[in-house]
Amino acid sequence: MSSVYEAVIGLEVHAQMLTRTKAFCSCSTAFGAPPNTQVCATCLGLPGALPVLNAEAVAMAVRTALALDCTIRSRSRFARKNYFYPDLPKGYQISQFDEPFSEHGSMVIDVGGETKTARITRVHMEEDAGKNLHDRGDRSIVDLNRSGVPLVEIVGEPDLRSGVEAAEYLRTLREVLMTLGVNDGNLEEGSFRCDANVSIRRVGQEKLGTRVELKNINSFRFVQKGIEHEIQRQEAVLSAGGTVVQETRGWDEKTGSTFCLRSKEEAQDYRYFPEPDLPELVLTDDFVARQRQSVGELPRAKRKRFVETLSITASASQVLTSHPKIAVFFEEAAKLHGDAGRVANFIQSEVLRDVSTRGLEADLPVSAAQVAALLRLVDQGTLSGKQAKDVYGKMVRTDKAPEVLVAELGLQQVSDVEAIEAVVSGVIAANPKQAEQLRAGKMGLFGFFVGQVMRETKGAANPGMVNGALKRLLEV
């Protein structure tokens, strides 16, 4: 972006609460059921059906707001948001408007080695709409399984200035929600959705430019690319003497550009009014205190603790807190073994390539106890580092202890001085030219000899003893 303009970006995130039942009825929230099989009179908006608020959804929403440092209002009210669309059978959506249950929060994000505080306008509850399905041949259908699923909408202030910042905001928010256990962070299935409000203005100008809304972008990469393209598009329009039009746009990955979904010349009038079928939502001090206590340690605090108390690197801490189950796995293995740094390195280099995640679930290939026991064998000199990797490969997806696998495979680190010196002598005799060059001061060849010895012993030789034998026999 040129220095003439700056971007102003605010994000609205809809996150599905991980309750078993919907916001105002007992229908299941499970994903993937056949269309219109998880519905009832309330979901369908049939006359006379009355909503009953899901208490667990309220608890999850309050934990979300507390984790985002929001102020909780003891009394709030639900409202009807009126609009007509095929996937909204009642003709209105139950949401919160002028009296949300929380507001005025913030979240710290890390961008380019610097920290930035992004303000949160409000966190409020609402129900989801249904979904239009257009992959049914020559017809479309409306699936109301998702209608009534409990959501929190997290409305951010326009504090972001680039697509990079927006993507990091979303990653950080997703980590928080997953750590709380209130959302599975699944962008592909639509349980974590983002709309971005993007405008540009001249640098130094306080007045906001005309806002364009980018709808339902389903990956962090596309959010970044979509926002960056939209910033460039708006700048090109203004630089050519044109006017940016208020509209809603989508992102086309194939063309790498945004496209108009619908014009929005005026802000839509949703004709909000208080929901007459629901009483005022009252959150007692005791209820809020219990939810605050259950928030627990959030990802940013966990990363800081890993660095400061476990002495692992900041980059390792970032990787090992990328998913709640991976963080728990690492801490358990580190506690069992005692050297968090060694455990962190082994998990990153070996274990993580075999880990798959889906939402809050993580498929871990070995147990924390197996990792700790394997590394203890290296500590004791039973296995070399290379042998440990071989044993790990045989241990994946089994419950076998590494000691058992070592016996089965006949693996044992060679720590016999005479045996190692015999191999070293043979390697030196086979490479007289390199031996003379090393003795003459070409120390870079030392690694060559170490590698040759390890190859001859198939990685079984004790590395420290190999180094000692080489120094003795080569007199370096």
pLDDT score of 384 = 82
Strands (E), 3-148: 5-16, 71-72, 75-76, 79-82, 92-95, 102-111, 114-127, 131-136, 139-143
User: What does the pLDDT look like over 337-372, one tens digit per residue?
Assistant: 999 999 999 999 999 999 999 989 999 999 999 999
The yes or no reply on domain 417-474 and CATH 3.40.30.160 is: no
Q: Residue 334: is its pLDDT beyond 90? A: yes
Q: Residue 267: is its pLDDT beyond 60? A: no
* Under 8 Å between Cβ of 81 and 129: no
297 versus 267: the higher-pLDDT residue is 297
pLDDT score of 438 = 86
| Domain chopping of the chain, boundaries | 5-286, 297-409, 417-474
pLDDT score of 162 = 96
pLDDT score of 265 = 54
pLDDT score of 1 = 53
CA–CA gap between residue 238 and residue 244 (Å, rounded): 7
What are the phi and psi torsion angles at 19 (to 5°)?
-90, 160
pTM of the complete model beyond 0.95:
no
What are the phi and psi torsion angles at 72 (to 5°)?
-95, 130
215 versus 198: the higher-pLDDT residue is 198
Element (H, E) at 260: strand 257-263
CA–CA gap between residue 156 and residue 297 (Å, rounded): 23
Q: Residue 311: is its pLDDT beyond 60? A: yes
Helix H, strand E, coil C: the string for 319-350 is: HHCCCHHHHHHHHHHHHHHCCHHHHHHHHHHH
User: What does the pLDDT look like over 13-50, one tens digit per residue?
Assistant: 999 999 999 999 999 999 999 999 999 999 999 999 99
On average, the pLDDT of the chain sits at 93
CA–CA gap between residue 320 and residue 345 (Å, rounded): 10
pLDDT score of 413 = 66
Strand pairing of 131-136 and 192-202? unpaired
Confidence of residue 276 (pLDDT cuts 50, 70, 90): very high
pLDDT score of 387 = 87
Q: Residue 415: is its pLDDT beyond 60? A: yes
Q: Residue 395: is its pLDDT beyond 80? A: yes
Q: Residue 105: is its pLDDT beyond 70? A: yes
CA–CA gap between residue 309 and residue 80 (Å, rounded): 49
Q: Residue 244: is its pLDDT beyond 60? A: yes
